[in-house]
């Protein structure tokens, strides 16, 4: 190892986990203004400024001092801006209206609802000016569509769901065009809907287990004559395909051999780059994102090709988010980058003018950040695995302490880009390995379905095989391997120290599952129809005694007597996905045996910490925990 004076200075935890100084920029439909997030009142709030102005001229238009704002939307009326907000992470999202003519006035809740009901998404109406369509479960187990008049808040039902688990897709006239529903065997059945009579006609059946998060995306073409979906066809790779409304024939719209369509953005559209980019003016699909060592953007609409070429020349990253005015002359784009996150640019396609708007974290120097290196190796059964290795800067990459950083889901993936926890750990001297174990989406049908029945089995073996690979390559010291993850990743960390109790020197469980049966029983009731191809297919149904017994055998709580690895647990008190009992029970089990465990509970958080003071508190504990037990840099405490 090189001498310590070649290592970069320790970067303060606040620099990694404080709110970004700027983020989420979008351009108004008329192309005259920008809206974006920036700190105010101790939280991320919304700011608006003229397209040619800078932040000194901007006006803060929200006043949230409790929880930062994540998702917001322009309307067709330049007076109003909309945003979504929950309470302390409980995910009961409400839609709020901001009056840009009176930014000091309190925001108006357009969707007052009983606890447990929420807004799942909104779209600007293409048919009725001054309104938006919102999807809400005012009926607790039904996801219905409502029309909301933005200026008055008047809300009327637009389309009611006839049975839980169905999805009705609207055409640009906002009439029912297609419906998808899940059959008892998990297959997704698509039907056309006659807009005049409402009669349904079978169109396609698309397989089940290879779509654990549903068939994504599901988009009606602007002419209403086709349905765009992600399907595997006869390939192992997920492609974007058009299904003809009349004939049922399939046409490949975008496909990349050896790569799958990246559907992560369909599951978290307000925080992740989109699966497809769509024209604000016409609704046509402009381009699609595919999974790779670096995300790949495939242009679909030839008219977008020149715009994309100019945008791509602005950064050595990958196009992340994109918005335009109605004329598609003016564009605002952000870019995915491993060392310089979320840089936003303005581009005028008519004049060719471009300029950088802002960097999300201007105090972080890209030159001192650690590159995120793609890696590949085989699991013990020969299944190809892909991942990313982030190594400390200025240190010889030999015999380092290693942190295996496990993503959640498990139907998600790690992808190339800025990862604050990985950068923080690398700065503290750790090699950070992220592996897309079997069950991760984006690496093909075979890779995905290889996870069926393999919780605490082959999915765990993949993680061990990844760490063993890092040891064999000389990167990692086998005596100083830690494991850390959130949600499913927290479950994986607990599995790691129960199924293989002597392998890891330290572990961090962040909002993780300890009891699979209890986890499924405590999920909100409206999600059950959507879990047929995921949790019930891959893990089991806790209402079946035999399956429940198998789930208990794969649950860390039933194996807690094997834990002797130093453990840190963190939990949000308002978590509706992984309830606090999941953490309470594993901690109580260890404390009853006299096994030391550090436990952090944030009373104002849900499934993951959003407020910066909670993130900083958590990662300060992570720094101490790993420094004490793995020997990295930073405060030991």
Residues recognised as catalytic: 487, 575, 607
CA 127: distance to chain centroid? 31
- Report the alpha-carbon distance of residue 343 to residue 112 in Å, rounded: 36
Question: Which residue matches tokens 């045996």?
Answer: 593
Give, in degrees to the nearest 5, the angle at Cα 315 between 283 and 36.
60
| Residue 516 and residue 583 in contact, taking contact as beta carbons nearer than 8 Å | no
CA-to-CA separations, 64 to 45, 46, 623, in angstroms, rounded: 6, 9, 30
Beta-bridge partners for 507: 483, 567
- The token pair at 394 is 């200025």
- Report the alpha-carbon distance of residue 112 to residue 119 in Å, rounded: 10
**129 SS3 class:** coil
Beta-bridge partners for 384: 378
Burial label for 603, CB within 10 Å (0-12, 13-18, 19+), is exposed
Burial label for 87, CB within 10 Å (0-12, 13-18, 19+), is middle
- The token pair at 453 is 């029945």
- Report the alpha-carbon distance of residue 531 to residue 526 in Å, rounded: 10
Residue 22, number of CB atoms within 10 A of its CB: 23
Cis link prior to 189 (omega < 30° from 0)?
A: no
CA 561: distance to chain centroid? 34
Residue 259 per-residue DSSP state: B
| Residue 87 and residue 93 in contact, taking contact as beta carbons nearer than 8 Å | no
| Residue 487 and residue 608 in contact, taking contact as beta carbons nearer than 8 Å | yes
Which helix (H) or strand (E) element contains residue 49? strand 43-50
Task: Measure CA of the first residue to CA of the last residue in the chain; give whole Å.
Answer: 25
Cis link prior to 562 (omega < 30° from 0)?
A: no
- The token pair at 381 is 């059964």
Task: Give the list of residues 6+ apart from residue 67 with CB closer than 8 angstroms, or none.
Answer: 43, 85, 86, 87, 88, 89, 604, 610, 611
CA-to-CA separations, 408 to 42, 110, 259, 526, in angstroms, rounded: 28, 32, 21, 21
Residue 120, number of CB atoms within 10 A of its CB: 12
- Report the alpha-carbon distance of residue 124 to residue 115 in Å, rounded: 25
């Amino acid at each position: 190892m090189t001498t310590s004076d070649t290592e970069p200075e320790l970067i303060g935890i606040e620099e990694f986990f404080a709110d970004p100084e700027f983020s989420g920029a979008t351009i108004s439909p008329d192309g005259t203004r920008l809206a974006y997030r920036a700190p105010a009142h101790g939280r991320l709030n919304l700011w608006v400024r003229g397209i040619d102005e800078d932040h000194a001229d901007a006006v803060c238009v929200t006043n949230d001092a409790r929880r930062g704002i994540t998702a917001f939307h322009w309307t067709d009326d330049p007076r109003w801006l909309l945003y979504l907000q929950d309470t302390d992470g409980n995910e009961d999202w409400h839609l709020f209206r901001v009056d840009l003519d009176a930014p000091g006035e309190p925001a108006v809740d357009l969707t007052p609802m009983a606890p447990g009901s929420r807004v799942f998404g909104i779209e600007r109406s293409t048919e009725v000016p001054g309104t938006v369509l919102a999807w809400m479960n005012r009926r607790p187990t039904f996801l219905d569509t409502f029309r909301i008049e933005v200026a008055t808040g008047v809300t009327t039902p637009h389309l009611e769901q006839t049975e839980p688990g169905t999805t009705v897709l609207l055409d640009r006239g906002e009439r029912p065009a297609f419906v998808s529903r899940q059959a008892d065997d998990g297959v997704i059945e698509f039907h056309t809907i006659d807009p005049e009579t409402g009669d349904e006609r079978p169109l396609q059946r698309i397989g089940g287990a290879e779509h654990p998060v549903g068939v994504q995306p599901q988009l009606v073409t602007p002419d209403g004559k086709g349905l765009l979906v992600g399907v595997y066809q006869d390939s192992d790779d997920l492609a974007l395909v058009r299904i003809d409304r009349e004939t049922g024939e399939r046409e490949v719209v975008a496909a990349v051999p050896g790569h799958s369509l990246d559907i992560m953005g369909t599951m978290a559209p307000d925080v992740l780059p989109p699966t497809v980019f769509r024209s604000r003016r016409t609704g046509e699909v402009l381009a699609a994102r595919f999974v790779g060592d670096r995300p790949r953007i495939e242009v679909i609409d030839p008219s977008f090709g020149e715009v994309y070429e100019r945008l791509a020349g602005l950064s050595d990253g990958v196009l992340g988010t994109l918005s335009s005015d109605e004329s598609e002359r003016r564009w605002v784009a952000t870019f995915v980058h491993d060392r310089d996150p979320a840089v936003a640019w303005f581009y005028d396609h008519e004049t060719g003018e471009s300029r950088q708007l802002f960097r999300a974290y201007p105090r972080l120097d890209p030159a001192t950040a650690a590159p995120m290196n793609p890696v590949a190796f085989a699991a013990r059964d020969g299944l190809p695995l892909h991942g990313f290795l982030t190594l400390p800067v200025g240190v010889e990459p030999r015999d380092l302490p290693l942190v295996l950083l496990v993503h959640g889901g498990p139907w998600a993936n790690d992808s190339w880009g800025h990862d604050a926890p990985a950068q923080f750990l690398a700065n503290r001297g750790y090699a950070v390995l992220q592996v897309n174990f079997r069950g991760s989406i984006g690496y093909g049908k075979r890779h995905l379905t290889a996870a069926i029945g393999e919780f605490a089995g082959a999915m765990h073996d993949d993680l061990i095989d990844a760490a063993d690979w890092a040891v064999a390559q000389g990167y990692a010291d086998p005596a100083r391997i830690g494991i850390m993850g959130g949600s499913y990743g927290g479950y994986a960390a607990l599995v790691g120290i129960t199924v293989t109790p002597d392998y890891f020197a330290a572990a961090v469980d962040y909002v993780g599952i300890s009891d699979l049966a209890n986890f499924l029983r405590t999920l909100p009731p409206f999600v059950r129809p959507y879990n047929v191809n995921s949790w019930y297919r891959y893990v089991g149904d806790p209402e079946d005694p035999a399956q429940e017994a198998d789930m208990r055998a794969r649950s860390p709580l039933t194996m807690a007597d094997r834990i002797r690895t130093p453990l840190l647990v963190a939990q949000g008190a308002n978590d509706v996905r992984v309830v606090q009992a999941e953490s309470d029970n594993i901690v109580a089990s260890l404390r009853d045996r006299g096994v030391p465990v550090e436990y952090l509970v944030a009373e104002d958080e849900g499934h993951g910490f959003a407020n910066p003071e909670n993130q900083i508190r958590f990662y300060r504990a992570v720094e101490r925990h790993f420094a004490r037990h793995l020997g990295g840099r930073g405060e030991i405490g």
